[in-house]
Structure 1
Amino acid sequence: MFRFVLGVQNESEMLLRSSWLMVLMGVCTFLICQFVDLPYGRYAHGKFGFAVNVKAAWFIQETPSLALPLYLMFFSTDTNPLQLPNQLLLGMFICHYIHRSLIFPFLIRGGKATPFISFALAFTFCLYNGYLQARFLSKYAVYPSDWITNPRFLTGFVLWFFGLSVNLHSDHILRKLRKPGETGYKIPHGGMFEYVSGANFLGEIIEWIGFAMACWSLPSAAFAVFGLFVLSSRAAQHHRWYLEKFEDYPKSRKAIIPFLY
């Protein structure tokens, strides 16, 4: 079905066209967000469908990006024997989504319910991207045997690990803002929040840029570009909200790029 929609006959071409489609989706989302706030969490206001429990929404919507790579790695008969670089790159992707689907949702404290449309879009994207990244790495990506010593892989891995660390630490700071039973909002401090309002988003952007460098492929680059456009839009949205909500919000703090933007 998807091959037919994209007008291709073979899967490898479909994956490449899907990558360019992801870039286009990211650009369109960024342009739309210049005029409309993304409908999730504090910005939903009861619109965009019935409410889905936030923990259930995060668990369900993120799971495809974990389940599909695991299936293609261990159960599919239509993949090539995975070489060490492919295993490590898939492992980096899986590592993120183990946390996002199996750990992060159950650590949420008092989060707002997710509108169904936002939940459905997130689920669809994780299904789409999970297949794109995992299928390319498990069947079509070919790396030299010494790829893991290549400067592109090493630089990408360091960036990926740094971004993951910033993302996890920033999520920890946000969780600690609320004591058990509290539902209000406070100004986050510490870590990269001293420089930007969207520290958690900055961490994830760096993470996927590092992943793209380590993979050195169009699908991974498309994911990094999509993440840059969408997450920077969310960070800017958060930044505007903080400035309007708190009179004492640090004026030197930027939205997503320290000291610049």
Structure 2
Amino acid sequence: MAIISSGYFFLTATMIYTQHLTAGLPDTPLDLLYPGVVVFAIGVAGNFYHHRLLSQLRTTKQDSDGDGGEKQYKIPTGGLFGLVTCPHYLFEIVSFFGFAMIAQTVHALVIAFGTAVYLAGRSCATRRWYESKFEDFPASTKALVPYLL
């Protein structure tokens, strides 16, 4: 958790610094601020919603002596979980591209693409894990993008 948090902190700091460096440059001919805010808001809302669904799955089976227990895993349902294993990653990618639209810098776009590649890999690994743990895992459920990936 600390590594991921520090990574997000570093990315945020470099994007803020990049925005500072572009302060004196002329504006781009196409202003993507407002569409970017909409895309970012959709990404954040979808990410939050699917993380909430995931948090409701976390249960622990108690041992007979009452000391802690073992984790019980379930296939998530609701939202886009019927179509993809990691809709929270999909919406996180959407929010990063929304931010890139707002920032309109190459640096923010590279971070959005890098995040997309990283989370696509993680979602494929998560799908393989679900397939190994659950015999009844639906074959039609994709890893990240409904009907495609």
**Common topology (TM > 0.5):** yes
1:123-181 per-position Cα deviation (integer Å, ceiling 9, x unaligned) = 553343132112122x223389x99x93x2222111111111111111111110123x4
1:129 counterpart residue number: 11
Map 1:104-253 to 2 at 5 A: 119=3, 122=4, 125-137=7-19, 139-142=20-23, 150=31, 152-179=32-59, 181-182=60-61, 183-253=71-141
With structure 1 as the length reference, what TM-score do the two structures score?
0.49
Equivalent-residue separation in structure 2 for 1:174 and 1:127 (angstroms): 24
The RMSD of aligned alpha carbons is 2.3
1:95 counterpart residue number: none
Equivalent-residue separation in structure 1 for 2:78 and 2:105 (angstroms): 35
Equivalent-residue separation in structure 2 for 1:123 and 1:215 (angstroms): 21
Map 1:18-97 to 2 at 5 A: 58=1, 61=2
What percent of counterpart residues are identical?
A: 28
In structure 1, stretches of 5+ residues that fail to align are: 1-57, 62-118
Query: Which one-letter code corresponds to 1:200 in the other structure?
Result: H
Report SS of the residue matched to 1:187: coil
Would the alpha carbon gap of residues 177 and 127 (structure 1) be closer, same or farther in structure 2, given more than 3 Å must change? closer
With structure 2 as the length reference, what TM-score do the two structures score?
0.82
More helix by share: 1
In structure 2, stretches of 5+ residues that fail to align are: 62-70
